[in-house]
Structure 1
Amino acid sequence: MTIKTNQFHLQIAEKNVGSLSHLALLRWALVVIFLWFGGMKFTTYEANAIAPFITYSPIMSWLHTLFGIQGASYVIGVLELSTAAALILGAFKPIFSALGAAMSAATYLLTLTFFFSTPGVAEVTAGGFPAIGAMPGQFLLKDLVLLAASLSLLLASIQTSRSSAR
């Protein structure tokens, strides 16, 4: 199933040319993560746990100013649950395959910026960066793999006219 735009063909990632059914594993793993983490954002526990990341982020700190700690967590939760919904719909509709993967990739690109803004990422007692502490450094490092999964889905969902002409 494909949708043609001016220069792109949007496809359900798993139904792209070749044997890409393994991408379904990535899609559904990301769905579980976004449903779980998104749902957790509606708890006080999670709002307080992510507060330091948001507070020190030059990209996201405005959320606390505008919505407060719990409100910012609600906003992020809605975005994460929306990403899960787009990924789910993306198993059936090409536009949502690309949208969900792009939303997921944007999430992990953003969280990886916390490496540079959150105090305590570098482990000073081990000589500083590139040595990273268990919290928050190693916790954030997993987002590199999640970004790769998101980009794999995105690239399989969007094919340029040149590649589809082959």
Structure 2
Amino acid sequence: MRMQFISAKNIHTVGRSVIRSALALNLVWIGRLKFEDYEVENIRPLVASSPLFSLLVDKLGEKQLARLIGVTEIAMGSLIAVQPLNPRASVLGSLGAVGMFAGTLSFLATTPGVWQENHGAPKLSMVGQFLVKDSVLLGASLVTLAESLQAAQRR
């Protein structure tokens, strides 16, 4: 008796679905948190030390910037999720996520305290560990972008 359901193709299909769903859920959920005061506090050191975001903090204020980021994350997550219904919209959401995660990875270079000092070879602090996971989310965004582009071309 062969187990036909356990094949590389089936696992790949399930994996792509999990990536898309998890990426969309992460973006919507984390975007929603940007409306909470504690999350405004959590992102303060990241945005304050970023050349681009510090200008936006000066212009909009911390709370408004956090809400703008939140709305953007919710929109991107929602667009990524609608790929089966509207692949072109999902292209926009995935492209936005690629840009966003590339941007948040830049915080590794601009945020104080990302690297632990006096520990020999470079070691990430808790803040650095929090940021470096965005490399995985960047990869997931690239996967969903490629899938959405392929689906849009088929229509």
Aligned-partner Cα distance in 2 for 1:74–1:30: 19
The residue that corresponds to 2:117 in the other structure is 124
**Shift in Å at residue 120 of structure 1?**
0.4
Q: Return the match for 1:147 from 113, 138, 141.
A: 138
Aligned-partner Cα distance in 1 for 2:145–2:54: 28
Q: One-letter code of the match for 2:125? A: G
Aligned-partner Cα distance in 2 for 1:156–1:91: 10
Q: Is the 8 A contact 2:20 2:144 kept in 1?
A: yes
Deviations 1:49-94 (A, max 9, x none): 1011000001211221111111110110110111112112223111
Deviations 1:102-160 (A, max 9, x none): 111111101000000000011102136x31112x101111111111111111122225x
Aligned-partner Cα distance in 1 for 2:60–2:120: 37
Indicate the SS of the match to 1:109: helix
Segments of structure 2 that go 5 or more residues without pairing to the other structure are 1-8
Q: Is the 8 A contact 1:102 1:154 kept in 2?
A: yes
Q: One-letter code of the match for 1:132? A: L
Q: Which has the higher contact order (CA 8 A, sep 6+)?
A: 1
Q: Does 1:24 align with 2:22?
A: no
CA RMSD of aligned residues (A): 1.8
The residue that corresponds to 2:50 in the other structure is 57
Structure ranking higher in helix proportion = 2
Instruction: Write the mapping of 1:31-50 to structure 2, written as runs, cut at 5 A.
Output: 31-50=24-43
How high is the TM-score relative to the length of structure 1?
0.79
Aligned-partner Cα distance in 1 for 2:83–2:89: 4
Query: Following superposition, which runs of at least 4 residues in structure 1 exceed 4 angstroms of deviation?
Result: none
Q: Is the 8 A contact 2:94 2:144 kept in 1?
A: yes
Q: Is the 8 A contact 2:83 2:148 kept in 1?
A: no
